[in-house]
Amino acid sequence: MGTDKRPIGIFDSGIGGLTVLKEIEKRLPCESLIYFGDTARVPYGNKSRQTVIRFTTENILFLLKKRVKLIVIACNTSSSLALKYVRKIFKIPILGVIKPAVEKAIKVSKGKRIGVIGTKSTIASRAYEEELKRKDRNSLIFSRPCPLLVPFIEEGLIRSLLLEDLVKFYLKDLKGKIDTLILGCTHYPLIKNVIASYLKGVCIIDSAKEVAINTKRILEENGLLANSRNVSHKEFYVTDDPQNFFKLAKLFLKKNIENPKLVNV
Ligand code: DGL
């Protein structure tokens, strides 16, 4: 058991990364967590690689000032477009969401017919596709950008008929072709039930869960775990509208969070 009390830094373009925080909190209750949501510049999902790299670098610099011991890039778009770059320039362990989800998908998929859904930039980057092919070059991959799902979920329309129609619209081409689907966006775990009921029998991979399992493993391997007697705390920072973040966080976590603080990066 380690004794490193420093917090874990988690960031996302906005609110969606709370799905990752929730899973990390569940598996690592003694760890302190600092969450940064770049709410002033969300969405990242339709931005260019250069812009996402710049935002990602700035977010990491912010978390480093908070003396974090490990950084989790909860955002699929940042992980797809910027992870390789920031890993080269920062020494701190940085975990993205792609590899953990891909490893799980390859493990559970029987027919190696794997679907990936995400933002426009994530799908266009082909980051999931490349990682899947690297793990199993015979796997068949079906990718689909679903740009309207994020705004729908942020509007709280997670149990509406409109959402069911949208899911059908985006996933009809994948139905019958895949046995496994990677939810390649922070927001999608919130509508996992709607997706699962449309794609009956398909194994749905929630990257948030896999990232949390990997975070634990990396802390263990590097002797970075906090002591079990550690009194953990959580801090939330956003770049715009802390009240709205607080309100949406309740939808994501089903509980109130500590008051988010407004910051500039
Ligand atoms: N966090 C983003 C992702 O996982 C979704 C929201 C956005 O487009 O910024 O790709």
Domain of 134, CATH number, reads 3.40.50.1860
Evaluate whether residue 2 is within a structural domain: no
| φ/ψ bin of 76: left (φ > 0), alpha (ψ from -120 to 50), beta (otherwise) | alpha
Is 187 found in the same domain as 105? yes
Is 213 found in the same domain as 149? no
Given a cut of 90, whether residue 157 has pLDDT beyond it is: no
Give distance in angstroms: CA of 223 to centre of ligand 1: 31
Is 234 found in the same domain as 196? no
pLDDT in tens, 72-102: 999 999 999 999 999 999 999 999 999 999 9
Last residue of a domain, one of 167, 187, 207: 207
pLDDT at 52: 98
Is 195 found in the same domain as 146? yes
Is 108 found in the same domain as 92? no
Is 136 found in the same domain as 151? yes
Q: Which ligand 1 atom sits nearest the alpha carbon of residue 97?
A: 4
pLDDT at 154: 85
The domain containing residue 253 runs over which residues?
8-96+209-262
pLDDT at 208: 87
pLDDT at 207: 85
Mean pLDDT of 37-65: 97
pLDDT at 229: 81
pLDDT at 231: 83
Evaluate whether residue 230 is within a structural domain: yes
Evaluate whether residue 3 is within a structural domain: no
- In the residue annotation, 75 being an active-site residue is answered as yes
Evaluate whether residue 183 is within a structural domain: yes
pTM, 2 dp: 0.95
The residue whose CA is least distant from atom 2 of ligand 1 is: 75
pLDDT in tens, 170-224: 999 999 999 999 999 999 999 999 999 999 999 999 888 899 999 999 999 999 9
pLDDT in tens, 214-254: 999 999 999 999 988 878 999 999 999 999 999 999 988 99
pLDDT at 2: 64
Is 194 found in the same domain as 142? yes
CA angle 228/231/235 to nearest 5° reads 125
Last residue of a domain, one of 188, 207, 226: 207
- In the residue annotation, 185 being an active-site residue is answered as yes
Is 197 found in the same domain as 137? yes
Evaluate whether residue 1 is within a structural domain: no
Evaluate whether residue 223 is within a structural domain: yes
Last residue of a domain, one of 168, 183, 207: 207
The residue whose CA is least distant from atom 7 of ligand 1 is: 43
Is 165 found in the same domain as 64? no
The residue whose CA is least distant from atom 6 of ligand 1 is: 43
Evaluate whether residue 161 is within a structural domain: yes
pLDDT at 1: 55
**Percentage of the chain exceeding pLDDT 90:** 89
Is 118 found in the same domain as 59? no
Task: Please tell me the total count of domains within the chain.
Answer: 2
Q: Which ligand 1 atom sits nearest the alpha carbon of residue 45?
A: 8
Is 213 found in the same domain as 203? no
Is 184 found in the same domain as 124? yes
Give distance in angstroms: CA of 43 to centre of ligand 1: 6
**25 alpha-carbon distance from chain centroid:** 14
Evaluate whether residue 32 is within a structural domain: yes
pLDDT band at 155 (very low <50, low <70, confident <90, very high): confident
